[in-house]
Amino acid sequence: MRESDALSPPRALSIWRGLGLWNFYFITKFVLLWYGQLDFHALENLAFAAFLLMPLPPLWLHRLRHVVAIPLGIALYYYDSWLPPFSRLLDQSSLVSQFSAHYLLELVGRFINPTWVAVGLILLVGYLFLSQWLRITSFTVAALVAVLVIGDQQLFSRPQAVAPEAAAVVRQETPGATPVEISDAFLNDRLEDFYGGQRRQVTVFPQSLGADVPPVDVLLLNICSMAWDDLEEVGLTQHPLWGRMDVLFDNFNSAATYSGPAVLRVLRASCGQSSNADLYNSVAKECLLFENLKRLGFEEALLLNHTGQFDNLLGLLRDAGVQAPNSLSRSLRPTLTGFDGSPIYRDLEVLDHWWKQRLADASPREALFYNSITLHDGNRLVDKATGKTVSADYRTSLEQLLDDLERFIDLLQASGRPVLLVIVSEHGAALRGDRMQVRGMREIPSPSVTRIPAGVKLINAKARLPETPLRIDAPSSYQALSELIARLVDGKAYASADFDLAAAFRDLPKLDMVVAENEGSVMMQVQGEHYLRMEDRSWIKYPQR
């Protein structure tokens, strides 16, 4: 054997076929990473590239590797995205199976961005052109190594992760305060401290109601898919309804992005904010808003403008202390169909029908929980003449809903009956989306989804009401509503013009930190910045739009 033969590499190592079209796969990731649209995992991607580059002399084995690599590449792309973990999709598969075909097609369409499709086509043509003269694989591998060694935050524009222990960002809470270190440990401790403080907060309701004051009805209207960000997007932040409120919260935190958790939070309003997991554990009766009202002699009423079957919403209401049946009249005709094909009824018709029944009822006090999904994503407008449906425009639906609520207030005022009206959204519709979340998706509890409108109006009260709404800008949540109800439910504001309404509005519970949570993700505002933790990953600084 010749010496040169002994020193020559094995035949397998002499066959390097390169990445081929897989270069284009990695190039698209680099571009998305540059624009902060990807949660790139450098080590996993480099390992995938090594798997693709490993020399395999038999052509059939090389081709088989490509077949195996396709599902692996798709899974890795999904893992690199900001989409929810695949396990969460599996958990929600039973709910997704109830979506109508129209809604499923609409959702698929949102993930197809024409701009990115055009960019992808340009990149593909550019790659095919340059690959005739350049070994693109060398550049791809070099870029993967650089991202691994130097770090994607240094090379690309993307959400910034915080260090597990050491400081990633140093800021001051207030001028002159001691600088604090933003780290995983610090943020985790802040989150635990927040929930620990919230567990100690409880609204104290009156022990009884006097007989010398007029009985008051409490109407709580819970509206799905309406955040301040959505109102700004469609130009309805100045709708007359908001000007008619006596108290309006500008910085109210829903703490949730889906209907089930949001409904549980508002019905548990008499205690501080709990974690998402604790929402599904038993809770003391003193935390349940409607239990507190029933103890004071209020008859309970439940009204939905839908069936309440999807995601077992009715079951959640029962668990939160609302046992009354849905008072929805079967004589009404639906004006919308939901994303699951179920009927949805117009808000004014539903509320007007219930109010007429209430005026004929002899019970002195009643507490109503009303839930509307008029604005829910995927709703379709029903043509009453033909029965056919078309996609419902959000702005049109929202304007009609706000107009309906205004007209309902007119009906309440015309009756002369004392009413404490509370309007609070569930969560936003995510009309605009952002860099980490596509339009209409609400897996990440971002501020654009969780900062919602909430207002209170005293109808037919004798107390001197403000000419314009009292705007509460402090970070607040459901316990502030519970506290207002507890202060006004005795009816004194409806009996005397000398009632000190300003005192009732003063020193409402506020949040020392804004925290919103979904299953698998937590958003927390610290020092004016928003930080996100998904599953068991490190906290990252959430990118601004």
Q: For position 420, what pLDDT does the model report? A: 98
Q: List the beta bridge partners of residue 223.
A: 372, 425
d(CA 57, CA 307): 62
Between the CA of residue 278 and those of 29, 59, 261, 494, what are the distances in Å? Answer: 38, 56, 10, 37
Between the CA of residue 511 and those of 194, 225, 307, 423, 475, what are the distances in Å? Answer: 9, 22, 34, 20, 5
Sequence-distant contacts of 505-510: CB under 8 A, at least 24 apart = 505/247, 505/470, 505/472, 508/472, 508/474, 508/476, 508/480, 508/483, 508/484, 509/201, 509/203, 509/272, 509/476, 509/477, 509/479, 509/480, 509/483, 510/474, 510/475, 510/476, 510/480
Written as one letter, the residue type at 320 is A
Q: Which residues of the chain have pLDDT under 50?
A: 1, 3-4, 166-175, 177
Q: For position 155, what pLDDT does the model report? A: 59
CB 363 within 8 A of CB 299: yes
Helices (H), 36-91: 42-53, 59-80, 86-91
Candidates 134, 131, 281; CA nearest to 195 is 281
Q: For position 205, what pLDDT does the model report? A: 96
CB 436 within 8 A of CB 461: no
Enter the tokens of residue 37: 């649209």
d(CA 135, CA 153): 27
- Under DSSP, the state recorded for 285 is G
Written as one letter, the residue type at 263 is V
Q: For position 56, what pLDDT does the model report? A: 82
The CATH number of domain 201-234+248-324+333-347+365-384+395-410+420-512, selected from 1.20.210.10, 3.40.720.10, 3.40.50.1100, 3.90.550.10: 3.40.720.10
Q: For position 428, what pLDDT does the model report? A: 96
Region for 92 from its dihedrals, namely left if φ exceeds 0, alpha if ψ lies in -120 to 50, beta otherwise: alpha
Q: What pLDDT, in 10s, does the model give residues 348-399?
A: 999 999 999 999 998 999 999 999 999 998 898 988 767 788 888 999 999 9
Map residue 74 onto helix, strand or coil: helix
Q: Where are the domains of the chain?
A: 3-155, 160-198+519-545, 201-234+248-324+333-347+365-384+395-410+420-512
Written as one letter, the residue type at 274 is S
